[in-house]
Amino acid sequence: MRYQFNEYLLDTDLFELQKEGRTVHAEPQVIELLILLVENKERMVSKEEINEKIWQGRVVSESALSSRIKMARQLLGDSGRHQKVIRTIHKKGFRFVAAIADESGGARPGTGDKNFSATVPSKAPPEMVSTINTKQEIKTKPAIAVLPFSNLSSDPEQEYFSDGISSDIITFLSKHSWLKVTARNTTFGYKGQSVDIRKLGFELSVDYVVEGSVQRAGNRIRISTSLIDAKTGLNTWSERYDKEISDIFALQDEITEVIAARLEPEIGFAERNKRVQSRPKNLESWDCYHLGVYHFFKFTAEDNLEAQRLLQSSCQLDNNFGEAYAWWAYAVVLGMVYWQVPARQELLDAALDACNRALSLDGQNATFYSLRARVLLARREYDSAVQDNKMAISLNPSFAAAHCGLGDSLAYEGRYEEAEACFDKAVDLSPNDPQLWAFLTYGALNYLFKGEFEKALEWTQRAMHIPNCQYWTMAHRVVALAYLRRDKEAAKSVEKLLKDIPYFSIGYAKEKLFYLKNQSQIEMYLKGLRKAGIPEQCELTL
């Protein structure tokens, strides 16, 4: 029997779970547990019955069952908090509640399913409302295969570590819902083989391949990794990590988290460049989305508006494409903070509705929570922004932008020490991130509020040399220099700031700091600008 639910297929004859046509690695007991719950979907399955069927009545601890339930939920994108697939009946048992279709194709709604409207939120601007009634097919998500890392150590006993690195990278990358990641069982079939990357890409239908090696010598370990374009066989990114070993498993967690965090933006960069270089005449939703994000990361006023336009077009071409909604919302908010987009409540409401729409399509998407948090920050709803960023981090611990967003949320609430740790984490996780200058700039603002002006100056110094760094970095620098009474340097920075942004003034800064509700933070910042000689108003308009 074959049971279809969400994007999963459970085949009881093959004893296999598939996601979007690819086999998902799962422990045999987890598959047994899923089959038991699915085949008894009309009722609760008691703990006693599960024990009898899965462990043949052997006495096992409560934690053993809890562990299998947790593993099943993780495989299905569920959690104990949400329980959208497997519901816990307190102290009694469990029930499968997702909507199921068996091989006959008949839908069998579970008690937890919801029907979401396929329309753009009612508060969204008129231009976002789609005039296209037929849903166009989205181009496939980029697919990636992680090959088993080679053990270059003389000790074959170290094989477990190189295998663990590979497996954990697969797990971390799988948390990015815009990527398709080949299952571990499939890629580990190539272990020990010399493979032609282009042939491998064809066999596995993947766009990118990650390969690497691990070498241990005494108390040090070296890990090398590369990202390869499977179509051309060309290396698009590589990195090497040298570490001392103290706790081997803690080191494994650290390394895999960092590698996954650095791979994700590299894949995104490669995908955007493909769309730009081969810009199709007839753009589909997937093309519009990637081109929109490409313009977003150029960080200019003109590119921000173009990003909004393309992301709107993506929504119109496919109103079930959550990424387009969420990134449109973020582009709008960034336009409010940096450029010409007015900070109107109506537009903030539309941005929030767009993020809610994205989350209604995929409630387990870390990026959607992180981007909604950005909108909530702009709305000065800091508590909610903190919760959304924490949810994003719980879903994807290696998501650097979520750590930065959490830092912002905490900084605006005056929780500066906690915020500092978040900014450090964001920078450490993703030093090649397209938003690195923003991580550093927001971190500098936290130091300004905290009164650590030398540290703020240091972070602006790091940010200002990054391409596409924005004028707020220089404005933060001006404030830090003013409070440090380094008047000559402050005057030079003011001159540079006003050369780049002739309309910058106290009035303009106050308008653009609309997202701050702590009056003392606003007054402290504006006082620094005044001390440095920034004019109160400027006759130039945007």
The label of the residue with tokens 């003109």 reads: 302
At residue 122, the pLDDT reads 36
Please check whether residue 37 is in contact with residue 96, taking contact to mean a CB–CB distance below 8 angstroms.
yes
**Chain segment 480-516, per-residue pLDDT in tens:** 999 999 999 999 999 999 998 999 999 999 999 999 9
Give CA–CA dist 166/150, Å, rounded.
9
Partnered with residue 11 across adjacent β-strands are 2, 16
Selection from 319, 327, 292, 328 nearest residue 307 by Cα: 292
Give CA–CA dist 232/210, Å, rounded.
14
Q: Mean pLDDT throughout 358-380?
A: 90
Gyration radius of the chain's alpha carbons: 25
Selection from 433, 437, 485 nearest residue 461 by Cα: 437
At residue 397, the pLDDT reads 82
Helix, strand, coil percentages for the chain (3-state, nearest 5): 55, 10, 35
- Cβ neighbours for 411, distance < 8 A, ≥ 6 positions apart: 419, 442, 445, 446, 449
Q: Does the pLDDT of residue 325 top 90, yes or no? A: yes
Higher pLDDT, 132 or 431: 431
In this structure, which topology does domain 143-276 adopt according to CATH? Rossmann fold (3.40.50)
Give CA–CA dist 229/208, Å, rounded.
5
Lowest-pLDDT range of 105-114, 309-318, 324-333, 383-392? 105-114
Q: Does the pLDDT of residue 246 top 80, yes or no? A: no
Query: How many Cα atoms occupy the beta-carbon half-sphere of 57 within 13 Å?
Result: 0
pLDDT-derived band at 252 (thresholds 50, 70, 90) equals low
At residue 355, the pLDDT reads 94
Higher pLDDT, 294 or 117: 294
Tokens representing residue 173 in the block: 């990358």
Q: Mean pLDDT throughout 333-353?
A: 91
List strands edge to edge, sheet with 2-5.
22-23, 16-19, 8-11, 2-5, 100-101, 107-108
Tokens representing residue 375 in the block: 């909108």
Three-state DSSP state, 42: coil
Q: Does the pLDDT of residue 20 top 90, yes or no? A: no
The label of the residue with tokens 């992180």 reads: 370
Q: Which residue type occupies 179?
A: L
Q: Does the pLDDT of residue 390 top 90, yes or no? A: yes
502-506: which pairs have CB atoms within 8 A and are 24 or more residues apart? 502/538, 502/540, 503/538, 503/540, 503/541, 503/542, 504/471, 504/475, 504/534, 504/538, 505/534, 505/535, 505/536, 505/537, 505/538, 506/530, 506/534, 506/535, 506/536, 506/537
Q: Other C-beta atoms within 10 Å of 61: how many?
A: 8
- Cβ neighbours for 122, distance < 8 A, ≥ 6 positions apart: 353
pLDDT-derived band at 102 (thresholds 50, 70, 90) equals low
Strand-pair category, 45-46 with 93-96: antiparallel
**Chain segment 425-447, per-residue pLDDT in tens:** 998 887 767 788 999 999 999 99
Q: Does the pLDDT of residue 106 top 80, yes or no? A: no
At residue 57, the pLDDT reads 61
Three-state DSSP state, 281: coil
Higher pLDDT, 165 or 413: 413
Please give the share of the chain, as a percent, with pLDDT higher than 70: 81
At residue 123, the pLDDT reads 40
- Cβ neighbours for 503, distance < 8 A, ≥ 6 positions apart: 538, 540, 541, 542
At residue 234, the pLDDT reads 80
Give CA–CA dist 512/468, Å, rounded.
19
Tokens representing residue 370 in the block: 């992180």
Query: How many Cα atoms occupy the beta-carbon half-sphere of 128 within 13 Å?
Result: 24
At residue 512, the pLDDT reads 93
Q: Does the pLDDT of residue 375 top 50, yes or no? A: yes
Three-state DSSP state, 146: strand
Average pLDDT, the chain: 81
Output b/e per residue, 8-19; b: 16+ Cβ within 10 A: bbbbeeeeebbb
The domain spans of the chain are 2-108, 143-276
Give CA–CA dist 156/470, Å, rounded.
50
Partnered with residue 525 across adjacent β-strands are none
Q: Mean pLDDT throughout 59-76?
A: 79
Tokens representing residue 129 in the block: 């409302």
Q: What is the pTM of this model?
A: 0.58
- Cβ neighbours for 238, distance < 8 A, ≥ 6 positions apart: 224, 225, 226, 227
Q: Mean pLDDT throughout 343-355?
A: 93
CATH architecture of 2-108: Orthogonal Bundle (1.10)
Which helix (H) or strand (E) segment holds residue 520: the answer is helix 519-532
Q: Other C-beta atoms within 10 Å of 219: how many?
A: 9
At residue 54, the pLDDT reads 80
At residue 119, the pLDDT reads 31
Q: Mean pLDDT throughout 36-48?
A: 87
At residue 224, the pLDDT reads 86
Q: Does the pLDDT of residue 83 top 90, yes or no? A: no
Lowest-pLDDT range of 185-189, 195-199, 420-424, 463-467? 185-189
The label of the residue with tokens 């960080």 reads: 299
Q: Mean pLDDT throughout 411-436?
A: 89
Lowest-pLDDT range of 135-139, 198-202, 225-229, 519-523? 135-139
Partnered with residue 108 across adjacent β-strands are 100
